[in-house]
Amino acid sequence: MAALEAAFVAMNGGGRACAVSSGTAALLLALHGLGVKAGMTVAVPSYSCSALLNAVNMAGARPVPVDVRPDDFTVDPASVERLAPDAVAVIAVHTFGATAQVAALKSSGRLVIEDCCQSLGGRQGLVGDASVYSFYATKIITGGQGGLVWSQAAEVAEAARDYREFDCRETYVPRFNFQMTDIQAAMIESQFVRLDEIRSRRRTIRSRYLAVMRALTGAGWRLQAGLDEATHLPYRFILVAPDSNARDAMKERLERDNVASIVPIERYELLHRYLNADSRHYPVSEMLADRALSIPLYPGLSDDEVDSVCEVLGRAA
């Protein structure tokens, strides 16, 4: 586990790392390390994952969902000001690999946790007050489960380390068992050393799809922005349909040709819907839940499989 933590410190050019049992645990421990507690408000992008609600609630704070930007699907700083003016902290997810507006969020004086669970290897995570990673089965690299907190500030990572295990302590404060096992750490490390290769393969597949998508973009479809720089690691390839009927029809069409696609975040999963907040404040999250479709993008896809997906997309255009 120490070697994995050292690898993250090297990747981020310094700071401290704390490996834990999941990305959700990493979020909770980042909040704890930053002193977020009961009575405080934390802004979370509605178009994200319920793990964010769980971590903020576990910290005793109040999660307030905010909307995301239509181009790159990351948290919208203007929506934070509008819907969560009293937020002391924001969890900024680098959605599907695109970079959130961390500097803008920080300039409002709030603490920012960079959620890199979908962007490991994309060179994000260095501007906020703490960063979190997940090694869940579907993530960029995996230990089955696992997570990590990284921060430039030693006290944030040290507070996380203190909380992560409870045995043989001379003094008592509430702690938990959030440890990563050495077996998980070894699996994760073995993939970590291949991050450049993983990024490059994912980018190659993305550029193949981009080439066939030109025809579809003329017909009212669009793509997620913010993934063009060579340093970015695309986690998903998202098509945004002109409307929900076109999205559902494309999904069925792909399925008929044996190409699995998924709706990355369903309407019922939007965080504002879980909290029964007024949907009118979240037009972009609602639109994406209705129209986004994710097609296969992972390094294990063979060239032949990529060719088949391109052919099917080309026929749909």
Q: What residue ranges bind ligand PLP (CB under 6 A)?
A: 22-24, 48-49, 51, 93, 115, 117-118, 134, 136, 147
Closer of 55 and 216 to ligand PLP (Cβ) = 55
Taking CB atoms, the residue at the shortest distance from ligand PLP is 23
Shortest separation between residue 156's beta carbon and ligand PLP, angstroms? 18
Shortest separation between residue 24's beta carbon and ligand PLP, angstroms? 3
Please state the φ and ψ torsions of residue 215, each to the nearest 5 degrees: -65, -40
Shortest separation between residue 51's beta carbon and ligand PLP, angstroms? 4
Closer of 80 and 213 to ligand PLP (Cβ) = 80
Strand pairing class (111-115; 87-93): parallel
Closer of 100 and 313 to ligand PLP (Cβ) = 100
Closer of 31 and 93 to ligand PLP (Cβ) = 93
Closer of 49 and 130 to ligand PLP (Cβ) = 49
Beta strands across the sheet bearing 292-295: 222-223, 237-240, 292-295
Shortest separation between residue 236's beta carbon and ligand PLP, angstroms? 11
With beta carbons less than 8 A apart as the criterion, state whether 208 and 229 touch: no
Shortest separation between residue 314's beta carbon and ligand PLP, angstroms? 30
Closer of 23 and 296 to ligand PLP (Cβ) = 23
Closer of 93 and 293 to ligand PLP (Cβ) = 93
Q: 103 burial class (0-12, 13-18, 19+ CB within 10 angstroms)?
A: exposed
Shortest separation between residue 52's beta carbon and ligand PLP, angstroms? 6
Shortest separation between residue 152's beta carbon and ligand PLP, angstroms? 20
Beta strands across the sheet bearing 62-66: 16-20, 147-151, 130-134, 111-115, 87-93, 41-45, 62-66
Closer of 46 and 118 to ligand PLP (Cβ) = 118
Nearest of 40, 45, 90 to residue 66 by alpha carbon: 45
Shortest separation between residue 192's beta carbon and ligand PLP, angstroms? 16
